[in-house]
Structure 1
Amino acid sequence: MCPEFNPEAFREFERQGHDRLAESYADVFTPITNLAVSYLLDVASVKTGTRVLDVACGPGNVCQAAIRRGAEPSGIDLSPRMVEIAGRLMPDVKFRVADVERLPFEQGSFEAVVCNFGLGHFPRPEASVAECVRVLVPGGTLAFAWWDSLQRQRLQAIFRAALGEAGATPSPRIPTGHDVFRFSDTAALRGLLEGAGLEQVSISDHATSIKVDDARQLWEIGMGSLAVTSSIILDIDAATQNSIRLAFDRICDSYRDGSTLRIPIAFKIAAGHKP
């Protein structure tokens, strides 16, 4: 984290960005984040009767899966629009607008706390994890799904490569200094959980792929779900946008598999138990 990093500005940027993308995120990105849900709930031992909190719940796909297991889920998200969508899809589940650093629950409220691809969006991850541990019962499980490195997780990598080729830089309104992929490193991820006092920490790697029709579809997925990347592209001049798109289309060609594109997706599942 750079000295000039402003956690509050980053938090507000995340709130606004995910409000802007909430509808498209639910449509185009949850099929991708769903790839990790069963692993996440398995490692957290979510089953019939489990009180489980979904942190950074987005449009609520993890809570939907938890309900199918007979669990009793609740969800929080920083984005009011995400919470609105989740509540519309699951009116019987309690969703709240809340910051992970200040969860609106008493100590020991849940047997499991899970977070599906939210970890890298927390401006103060150590404080966030400590708060998640606080609301766990003794013996409860905290579990995260987070992206693997850009070398293995290529959706964001293709966009970043295109931005680099076009020489695009973030506008001043986009906060800098936060390493979204800090916990793509297994040692850093393990250190985060063990530093919060969790025991029996486990981390597993998962690799798969998604198929998309063409570069246009992948572009729509990224622009409809990646808050920082889409903001960088939308904020720059038309000529640079065009250069990014040309580079993007060319890079996508290297992932052609017959009539479609096959994009590698990789993520980590990390979990630990509260003593």
Structure 2
Amino acid sequence: MESGHMTTEQFLISAEQAEAYEDRFVPALFQQWVSPVLRAARLRPGDRVLDVACGTGVVARAAAELVAPNGRVVGLDLNPAMLEVARRVAPGVEWRQGDVTALPFGEATFDVVTCQSAIFFFPDPTTALAQMKRVVRLGGRVVVQAFSSLSAQPAYGPWADLVARHAGPDAVELLGTYWSEGDVGLMRDRCAEVGLRVAAVDQHVQPAYFPDVAAMVLTEVNATPLRDRLDQAHLDRILAESHDVLRSFLRGGQLVIPLAGYVLAAERE
């Protein structure tokens, strides 16, 4: 089921999608990973922090509180729509548009670089890590969070198999992208290749929250090319069978899905 990396153009989004990301995806999924990432970052007041592929800024906003009053936090993203939402929510943070393969900063500009739930979107993760290393100071930290492989996902694994049965492996290719950097050994090798020393890798399981099974299915479908490839009959069958596959993760009507992932902290030597 695991796919290769997507091209940059596939992830350019509209203003409406960016607002939905902040309103739905951040509280449902990404907020839960902020604390593990920032614990690994070991931020202190006065630190200079770059959050790469910041989205609407959930990590950058929390980092700004930790480095106050005289620290600096920059959130960088390729998507103008994401940055517009970020500026609205936290106008006091510095937001920059840019590409991770050519970060618009000088050598050793930052003490810490973070990258939460994004490295699997990059067409070239190794180049991205090299750029993160370049802009962090000697002894500084690069912290990357990614999700474990699909085979390690107790809910998403069986659900992706279900979708593949109805929509075909090609139609669900994007679902595989989220798990494509789940091999910690491979991530360690990437770090070694660019000259980053891995200091720690912590495994985590964090909850993802959805109002119910249908909300989860429709969120996943509408956020991917599946939206354009599934007719109503196939979607109805997926919805019906998803209730059986995900029933054990219902908690009082709410769907609480365990997501396995890891946080890797590396240092520039």
Tell me the equivalent position of 1:74.
74
Give the 5 Å matches for 1:254-273: 254-273=248-267
**AA at the equivalent of 2:157:** A
Give the 5 Å matches for 1:105-116: 105-116=105-116
Superposition RMSD in Å:
2.6
- Contact 2:120–2:180 (Cα < 8 Å) also in 1: yes
Tell me the equivalent position of 1:242.
236
Which deviations, in whole Å up to 9, do the C-alpha atoms of 1:46-102 show, x marking residues without a partner? 121110000010010111101121242101111111011001111122212211001
- Give yes or no for the alignment of 1:199 onto 2:197: yes
- Contact 1:165–1:244 (Cα < 8 Å) also in 2: no
Give the 5 Å matches for 1:30-41: 30-31=26-27, 32-41=29-38
Tell me the equivalent position of 1:23.
19
1:64 & 1:213 partners in 2: Cα distance? 26
- Contact 2:159–2:245 (Cα < 8 Å) also in 1: no
**AA at the equivalent of 1:54:** D
**AA at the equivalent of 1:23:** E
**AA at the equivalent of 2:106:** E
How far off its partner does 1:155 sit? 5.7
- Contact 2:149–2:180 (Cα < 8 Å) also in 1: no
SS at match of 2:160: helix
In structure 2, stretches of 5+ residues that fail to align are: none
Give the 5 Å matches for 1:11-160: 11-16=8-13, 21-31=17-27, 32-69=29-66, 70=68, 71-154=71-154, 156-157=156-157, 159-160=159-160
The structure-2 alpha-carbon separation of the partners of 1:169 and 1:182, relative to structure 1 and needing over 3 Å to count, comes to closer
Percent pairwise identity: 27
The structure-2 alpha-carbon separation of the partners of 1:21 and 1:156, relative to structure 1 and needing over 3 Å to count, comes to farther
Which deviations, in whole Å up to 9, do the C-alpha atoms of 1:3-59 show, x marking residues without a partner? xx7x7x71111224x766312111111122111212211212212111000001001
| Superposed structure 1 runs of 4+ greater than 4 Å apart | none
The structure-2 alpha-carbon separation of the partners of 1:92 and 1:212, relative to structure 1 and needing over 3 Å to count, comes to closer
2:142 & 2:16 partners in 1: Cα distance? 29
TM-score of the aligned structures, taking structure 2 as reference length: 0.87
Tell me the equivalent position of 2:188.
190
TM-score of the aligned structures, taking structure 1 as reference length: 0.85
Report how many residues are paired: 262
- Contact 1:112–1:140 (Cα < 8 Å) also in 2: yes
SS at match of 1:29: helix
Q: Which moved more, 1:39-48 or 1:111-120?
A: 39-48
SS at match of 2:7: helix
**AA at the equivalent of 1:55:** V
- Contact 1:10–1:175 (Cα < 8 Å) also in 2: no
- Contact 1:52–1:113 (Cα < 8 Å) also in 2: yes
How far off its partner does 1:237 sit? 2.4
- Contact 1:200–1:272 (Cα < 8 Å) also in 2: yes
How far off its partner does 1:154 sit? 4.7
2:103 & 2:156 partners in 1: Cα distance? 29
- Contact 1:165–1:247 (Cα < 8 Å) also in 2: no
- Contact 2:167–2:230 (Cα < 8 Å) also in 1: no
